Amino acid sequence: MSLQLPTFPQYSIVSLVEKPYLLHTIRTDFFYTVEICVLTYTLQDKNQELAVNLLGAVDEHASGVLHELLDKLTPKDVVLNMEAVRYFNSIGIRAWINFVKPLVDGRRASYKNCPPDFINQINMMPLLARSVQILSFLSEFLCPECGHTQLQLFDAQKERDVLLQEFQGMVCEECGGDLAPEEDPQAILYFKSTQ
C-alpha cells in the first residue's frame, strides 16, 4: 500500500505511511485531508505495572475511550505508551486533562515515547504532565544534505544540558550527514523545567 501524503509539521507523515491502519478522515486547515484513526488502546499487564499502548487521535471521540480505559485500571502503576498517538485538538486535550486527574489518584503514572506533537502540547499546557513523569520522547530531525527526516528517541530523565548536547550529535541514517532538529531544542525541552 503506497500513500502519497503531503509533509507538514504537526503530523508525522512517515509513521502514517508505515502504519496505514491509523487511518480515518479528519479535516485540516489545509486544502487536503489527512487520515488518522479514532483513539484505541491495548493493555499489557506486567509484573510491577500496567502498560497502556495508545493509538490514534485525541479528539472529540477520545473522552468515551479514556473513561472506559480508567474503569479498567487497577491501583498498579501505569505506563502510557504515546508513540502511536498522532493528533490532538482542543476538545481532546480537555478530555485528556480529565483523564489524567483520576489516573494519578493513588497510582504512579508515566508517559513514554511521547511524539513531538504531544511534547508541544505539554509545553503549552504543563498541566498535562504535572503529575505524570515523562520517561522518553521523540523529536524530528531533518538532514540538510539529502532531505531525509527521522525521528529520534531521547531519555527524558537525562539532564537538560546532556539532552541539548545529544540534539547536536544526531547523524542521518541515509547519508551520514549531520542532522538539524526540526524545532528549537530549547523550546522542545521546556517541559524539563516544569516536571
- 131 — alpha (psi -120 to 50), left (phi > 0) or beta? alpha
Residue of 70, 124, 146, 180 interacting with Zn ion (CB under 5 A): 146
Binding segment for Zn ion (CB under 5 A), chosen from 79-87, 103-111, 136-144, 180-188, is: 136-144
Choose between 39 and 170: whose C-beta lies nearer to Zn ion: 170
Which of 107, 162, 159, 164 lies closest to 139, judged by CA?
164
Q: Does 143 interact with Zn ion (rule: CB under 5 A)?
A: yes
Binding segment for Zn ion (CB under 5 A), chosen from 59-67, 84-92, 97-105, 173-181, is: 173-181
Residue of 78, 95, 114, 172 interacting with Zn ion (CB under 5 A): 172
Ordered DSSP codes for 37-58:
PBPEEEEEE-SSEEEEEEEEEE
Which of 109, 62, 67 lies closest to 89, judged by CA?
62
Whose grid coordinates read 490532538? 88
Q: Does 185 interact with Zn ion (rule: CB under 5 A)?
A: no
Residue of 125, 177, 185, 190 interacting with Zn ion (CB under 5 A): 177
Contact call for residues 34 and 26 (beta carbons, < 8 A) = yes
Mark 91-130 with x for binding to Zn ion (rule: CB under 5 A) and - for no binding: ----------------------------------------
Strands 34-35 and 25-26: antiparallel
Residues that bind Zn ion (CB under 5 A): 143, 145-146, 148, 172, 174-175, 177
